[in-house]
């Protein structure tokens, strides 16, 4: 079992920055891949970024490349999403997820544990 808790969401103006955190507990954090997804009202869940167990491999959705950075601190059992140059279209609930079996990547069904989500709202 893995428990995931996101934090760091909030309201920010366009062009601003936020850093999301995902604290994990349960199974050994350094042994599984992690990812961030988001879902805006009336839209399907969208892949944001993923990171391998060691942090050496990262992968981003096209809409956030060059603006968002995913990272992890295995000593703190925490994953991060640094979001810069935020746009109103980044407004969504952001979820962290864990894939304890494979490299989850952009495939949401491959992730077996999910957090409860944190709201990010970007005003224009």
Confidence at residue 30, expressed as pLDDT on a 0 to 100 scale: 85
Nearest in space to 78 (alpha carbons), one of 70, 86, 90: 70
Q: Which residue has the tokens 């990547």?
A: 105
Confidence at residue 103, expressed as pLDDT on a 0 to 100 scale: 81
Confidence at residue 104, expressed as pLDDT on a 0 to 100 scale: 75
What residues contact residue 68 under an 8 Å CB cut-off, 6+ apart?
Answer: 48, 49, 60, 81, 82, 83, 84
For 93, which DSSP code?
E
Residues of the chain with pLDDT under 50: none
Nearest in space to 8 (alpha carbons), one of 123, 90, 95: 95
Confidence at residue 86, expressed as pLDDT on a 0 to 100 scale: 98
Confidence at residue 107, expressed as pLDDT on a 0 to 100 scale: 92
Beta strand pairing status for 118-123 and 10-13?
parallel
């Amino acid at each position: 079992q893995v428990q995931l808790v996101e934090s760091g969401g909030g309201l920010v103006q366009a062009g601003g920055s936020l850093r999301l955190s995902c604290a994990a507990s349960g199974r050994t954090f350094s042994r599984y891949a992690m990812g961030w997804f988001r879902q805006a009202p009336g839209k399907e869940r969208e892949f944001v970024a993923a990171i391998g167990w060691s942090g050496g491999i990262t992968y981003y959705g096209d809409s956030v490349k060059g603006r968002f950075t995913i990272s992890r601190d295995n000593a703190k059992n925490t994953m991060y999403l640094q979001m810069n140059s935020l746009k109103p279209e980044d407004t969504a609930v952001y979820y962290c997820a864990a894939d304890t079996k494979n490299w989850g990547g952009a495939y949401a069904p491959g992730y077996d544990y999910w957090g409860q989500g944190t709201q990010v709202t970007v005003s224009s």
